[in-house]
Amino acid sequence: MESTAKPRKRACDSCYKRKIQCDGESPQCNWCKHHDLECTFDRPKRAANKVTKTRKEAKDKGLSQRIERLEQILAEKRKHDSSVSSSSADGGSGVTDAASPRSLGSSPARLLDQPPGADVVGSYGKLHFAGYQLGEISSYHGLPLFSPNGQKWIESRTGQVGVFPNLGLPLWHNPQLGHDALLVPASNFDLPDRQVTEEYFSLFCNSPIRLVFPIVEPELFLRTINTAYQPPPKILSSEHATAKACVFSFVCVVNLFEPLPGVPLLDIDACALKAQYLLPQVLIDASIEVLQVALMQCIYHLFSGKFQSASMFHTMACRILFMLGTHTHGTDPLAAKPEGETDESWRLECHLRKYFWMLYSFDKDIALRSGQPPVIPDDHCDLTLPKGYSKDARGWYIDTAGNPYLPGDLKLAMIKSKAVQRLHSINALRKSDAELLRDVRELDDELEEWRLSLDPSIRPKLSYRAEEGKVDRNTSISQKMHYIITNFEYHYLMATIHQTTSRCRSWYNRKSGEIEGVSSSLALSVEASRSTLVFLGTAVRELACESFWLMIFYPINAVLTVFCNILLNPLDTRAEADLKLLGTAPELIKTMNFRRHTIGEVIHIKMIEDFVAELVRLGSCAIQKARQTQHFEAQNPEELCLGGIL
C-alpha cells in the first residue's frame, strides 16, 4: 500500500516568494507541480525577534523584582512581630500570611466549587477573599457587607453566629430621610436672600476650595445669580429655572465645605431638593449651566454620604459633558489663549476641561467602590494631561500658597481606570490565573512608579507602623487633606489590585508555583489594609469635617480585609496584633471630625462602631477555636489518623 506523505506546515520557496497559499504537499506542492518547478525549502528560517524578547524579559524581571521587594518588607515585618509576640508559642503554628491548607477547607462560601464552565456572569461584582465569595456588589446597594454564604463561612471559622445589623445600604452610606419628610409646596421655590448667596460666592472665590472644586466659573456665575434673582415671570422659563437650580445647588455645596460665620445655617437638604424639583424644566437643553447643576448635585450627595444619588447625578453630568464635546478637547487651562479666541470663549473652554477632569476622577472612584461599569470610556476621550502633570512634576497643580488643584491625582485616576478594565470587567472574569496575575503585577508596577514620582513630603510609605506618617499641623487644611487622601488612596488601590487574586482558581487547584503567587498577592493586600488603619490613627484628628462620608469608606474596607485574614489564618503570628488593630477602629471612627450630627447620622455612626466591635469579637472567637482545634489534634493524633483512613 502506498503511504501518503503528510503535508508540510511550511510554504515552499516559490509560494513564499509569490506570497500565495502553499498546500505543502510532498514531493511537490500544487503550484510547483503545475508550473513544472522544483519544490524547494532552502531559504533560511527567520530568527526570532531578539530585541522584543529581551525587552519582555527585562519587563518581567522588573516586575518580579518589585514583588520580591514587597515580599521582603512583609517578611521583615513578620520577623519583627514574631520576635515581639511570644504568645504565639503556645497557640501559633508559624503559618504565614499565605493561606495554609487547613484554612482552605471546604466551606459553603467556596468560590470554586463550581465546574470550570460555570457562567462567568454569575461572578460579576462579587466580593472575594482567598477563593471565597463573601458578598456581592449590587448596582443598587454598592458593597454589601456579607452575603448569607459569607455569614456561613464566618460561622464555620468562628463557631459563632455573627450578629450583624440588617443593612439596606453599606456602612459608608448616609441613611437618607424619607422623601416625604423633605417635600415642599410646589410654589415654595424661594431662593435664599441674595445677600447670603453673594456672601457665599465671595467666600468661595477667596477660598482654596475654588482650586480643589472649581464648581462654577466666577464671571458666568455672576450672570447666573442676576438671572436667578430677577422677578419671576408668570410662566417659569427654562433659563430662569436653570439659574435658580444652579444657585440652590451652589449654596448646598459651599455650605457643606465652609459655612458662613454669623449667617444662619441654611437647610441645605431642602435647597438640594428644590433644585431637583426644577430638573424637568432644566433638562431641556445641554449647556454649561445645566452641567453645573448636575455636577454640584453630584458633589453635594457624595459629601453627604448619599452615594447612590451621587452616582446618578454623576452619570447625568457626564452625558451633558459629552453633548458639549468637552471629552474630545485636550484644552490646557494654563496654556496661552489661541489666536481668534475671545477671552470669554477661552475661559469657558478651560473651565469645561476642569469639569471633565473632576468627573473623570469621580467616575473611576465610583466604578471601583460600587463595582458598576465606568461612565467615561477612556478610548473615546482625549486624556492629554495639563502641563502641570508632566513626568517630572509632583502630579498636582499647586498654587503659591501650596494648595492642591482639582480633587484627585489624574495619573492615579488613570491607573484606577486600568484597574477597573483589566480586573473587574466581564472580560477580566474570563482570564486565566496567569493572565490575571500578570495584570495585577503590571498595575502594581504602575502604582509604584506613580508613588515614586510624588514629592517626598507627600509620598506614601509602602507600609506603616504605629506613629509613622504623622500629618504636619503647620500646613493648611487643603495641604493636610492632600497628604491624607494621597496615603489612603495609595493603600486602598494597592489592596484592591492585589485582592483581585482571590478570584484565582489556584486557591482551589493548589498547584505549586501558582498558589505562592496568589498567596503573596493576598498578603500584600492585607498589609496595605493594615497600613490604612495604622495611618488613620495618626491622621484622624486632622481630617476635614466635610470629608467624613468619603473618608469612612477607607477604614471600613480595610477592617473587612484584615478581619477576613484573621478568619483565614487564625494561628498566624500576626493574628493577635491584627485583632488589637481592629479593636482601635471603633474609637478612631468616633474621633473622626463630623460637621453635621442629625439623629439618623448619630445612630448610623453607632451602628458602624457596633459592627466593627462584632468583627473584633468574632476574630477573637476564630483564634480561640483554631487553638482549641490545634490542641485537640496534638492530644489525639490516633483519631486523626483513623479519620484519614475512614
Check residue 119 and give its pLDDT.
38
Q: What is the pLDDT of residues 506-560, one digit of tens each?
A: 777 665 556 777 888 889 999 999 999 999 988 888 888 778 888 888 998 899 8
CA-based angle 193:478:557, to the nearest 5?
105
Please compute, for residue 574, the number of CA atoms within 13 A of its CA located in the half-sphere on the CB side: 24
CATH says 1-39 is which class? few secondary structures
Check residue 638 and give its pLDDT.
63
Q: What is the pLDDT of residues 61-113, one digit of tens each?
A: 555 555 565 556 556 655 555 554 444 434 333 333 444 434 444 444 444 33
| Closest-CA residue to 478 (of 423, 543, 384, 419) | 543
CA-based angle 61:67:68, to the nearest 5?
85
Residue whose entry in the numeric block shows the C-alpha cell 488643584: 405
Q: Model's pTM, two decimal places?
A: 0.78
CA 417 to chain centre: 9
**Sign of the Cα pseudo-torsion (92, 93, 94, 100, in order):** negative
More confident residue, 403 or 558: 558
For the chain, domain boundaries: 1-39, 174-382
Q: What is the pLDDT of residues 596-637, one digit of tens each?
A: 666 666 777 777 788 888 888 999 999 999 998 888 878 777
Check residue 234 and give its pLDDT.
76
Q: What is the mean pLDDT of residues 48-64?
A: 52
pLDDT averaged over every residue in the chain: 77
**β-bridge mates for residue 235, sequence order:** none
Task: Look at phi and psi of residue 325 and say left if phi exceeds 0, alpha if psi is from -120 to 50, else beta.
Answer: left
**β-bridge mates for residue 129, sequence order:** 132
Q: How far is CA 341 from CA 296, 344, 347, 349, 386, in A?
A: 28, 8, 10, 10, 19
Q: What is the pLDDT of residues 215-274, one digit of tens each?
A: 999 999 999 999 999 987 777 788 999 999 999 999 999 988 876 777 767 888 889 999
Residue whose entry in the numeric block shows the C-alpha cell 473651565: 351
CA 298 to chain centre: 18
